[in-house]
Structure 1
Amino acid sequence: MIEVTKEASGLWLVTLNRPGKANALTEDMLQHLAEVFEGAGEARAIILTGQGKVFSAGADLEAARRGLATSPLWERLSAAVAAAPGLTIAALNGTLAGGATGMALACDLRLAVPEAKFFYPVMKLGFLPQPSDPKRMAALIGPARTKLILMGGQKLTADEALQFGLIDRIVAPGDVIKAARELAADALAAQPDIAAGIKTMCL
């Protein structure tokens, strides 16, 4: 359900492939994703995307009822994404919801298709968000807008997400991977230590 393609250029394409379930994440999928990013020291750029019309609906409903919604795996995954030395790009092929938001927030850049929507109904479901999610979101869009999403339960359109700064660019549905590849091109061509150094300087 997690596909990883490693290209000779140093580009890794990581795809959530459970479109029949809106790419909802199971414990095994979270574990696999965390291991991929923890082992991504040699990747010069990573594109994270989904198969189908939804990037991810967050935690698988049945797994969430069994405790996955509060699993430390979410925090482990987002920490691994943030620690990857290469350029990380979330190529959001559709709606991003719930706990899956954390791994997109941890990426360096976020692209989305026009139809994408963004929501994180954690309070309504009776859970706290993972500790790093509000901090990363607030760093991008500010505390008030973060509360608008996490406490006000607001669902953002792609246009609103772009205006807020939650995403960096809106691209046509068929072009999200192409656009991500274009953004990764300079990082792939650069010396890895220079690219990683610039990324560190931006923290």
Structure 2
Amino acid sequence: MIRLDIDDGLWTVTIDRPEKANSLTRAMLGEIADIAERAAREEARVFVLRGEGKVFSAGADLDEARAGLATDPVWERLSGAIAALPCLTIAALNGTLAGGAMGMVLACDLRIAVPGAKVFYPVMKLGFLPQPSDPKRMAALIGPARSKIILMAGQKIEAEEACDWGLIDRIVAPEALADTVATLAADARAASPAHVAGIKALI
């Protein structure tokens, strides 16, 4: 359910569970974290997250969420592993992003989305706290008030508004998503891992 493709410094991780809206199990989260940690060791220059189908991810698998996944430390392990990557990290949002899946996306350097994608994180309604790092990363991107619109008021934000806020960096047609990611990745793929890491560290 997690697919990894490695091509000349470009690591692409695909959430491949479209029949369940790419909802995430504990095993899937652990696998993505393992891949991110391996990418750091093996000097990936670009790390891309994408979903298969029409939804990026609906968040936690509902059955596992009821059994404790919603508060499992694996979410923080995953977002921390992505945030710590010294390479360029890109979330290619092929569709809606919901719930705990927000953490790994907030930890990326860039977020590209298709028109019509929605972003929401219904922790208030569901009775859970967000993962500790998520509100901080969200507020750093869009400010505290807009973060409260998502986390406390429970609003679903359309891609266009999310782009105006700075939560999404670019909106592209679905058929252009892969080419856009390739274009954004090109310079980093052509550089040395140390050069990529050096520029990221300066920022």
**Where on the TM-score scale, by shorter chain, does this alignment land: which range?**
over 0.9
Q: Give, as a single letter, the amino acid of the residue that structure 2 aligns with 1:11.
A: L
Ranges in structure 2 where 5+ consecutive residues have no aligned partner: none
**Equivalent pairs: percent with the same residue?**
67
Aligned CA-pair RMSD: 0.6
Alignment of 1:143-158 (within 5 A): 143-158=144-159
Say whether 1:2 aligns with 2:2: yes
Alignment of 1:41-190 (within 5 A): 41=40, 42-190=43-191
Once the two structures are TM-superposed, the CA of residue 135 in structure 1 deviates from its matched residue by 0.3
1:44-65: CA deviation from partner (whole Å, max 9, x where unpaired): 1011100000000000000000
- Superposition misfits of 4+ residues, deviation over 2 angstroms: none
For 1:115 and 1:48, locate their aligned partners in 2 and report how far apart those are by CA, in whole Å: 19
Once the two structures are TM-superposed, the CA of residue 73 in structure 1 deviates from its matched residue by 0.2
For 2:35 and 2:165, locate their aligned partners in 1 and report how far apart those are by CA, in whole Å: 30
Aligned twin of 2:32: 33
Once the two structures are TM-superposed, the CA of residue 191 in structure 1 deviates from its matched residue by 2.2
**TM-score, normalised by the number of residues in structure 2:** 0.98
For 1:168 and 1:25, locate their aligned partners in 2 and report how far apart those are by CA, in whole Å: 24
1:65-108: CA deviation from partner (whole Å, max 9, x where unpaired): 00000000000000000111110100000000000000000000
For 1:47 and 1:173, locate their aligned partners in 2 and report how far apart those are by CA, in whole Å: 16
SS of residue in 2 equivalent to 1:40: helix
For 1:79 and 1:16, locate their aligned partners in 2 and report how far apart those are by CA, in whole Å: 18
8 Å CA contact 2:44, 2:193 repeated in 1: no
SS of residue in 2 equivalent to 1:124: helix
Ranges in structure 1 where 5+ consecutive residues have no aligned partner: none
8 Å CA contact 2:45, 2:192 repeated in 1: no
Q: Give, as a single letter, the amino acid of the residue that structure 2 aligns with 1:5.
A: D
Once the two structures are TM-superposed, the CA of residue 201 in structure 1 deviates from its matched residue by 1.4
Q: Give, as a single letter, the amino acid of the residue that structure 1 aligns with 2:95.
A: G
For 1:138 and 1:199, locate their aligned partners in 2 and report how far apart those are by CA, in whole Å: 20
1:25-51: CA deviation from partner (whole Å, max 9, x where unpaired): 001101101100011122110111000
SS of residue in 2 equivalent to 1:15: strand
For 1:131 and 1:177, locate their aligned partners in 2 and report how far apart those are by CA, in whole Å: 31
SS of residue in 1 equivalent to 2:145: helix
Q: Give, as a single letter, the amino acid of the residue that structure 2 aligns with 1:149.
A: I
For 2:193 and 2:32, locate their aligned partners in 1 and report how far apart those are by CA, in whole Å: 23
Q: Give, as a single letter, the amino acid of the residue that structure 1 aligns with 2:32.
A: L
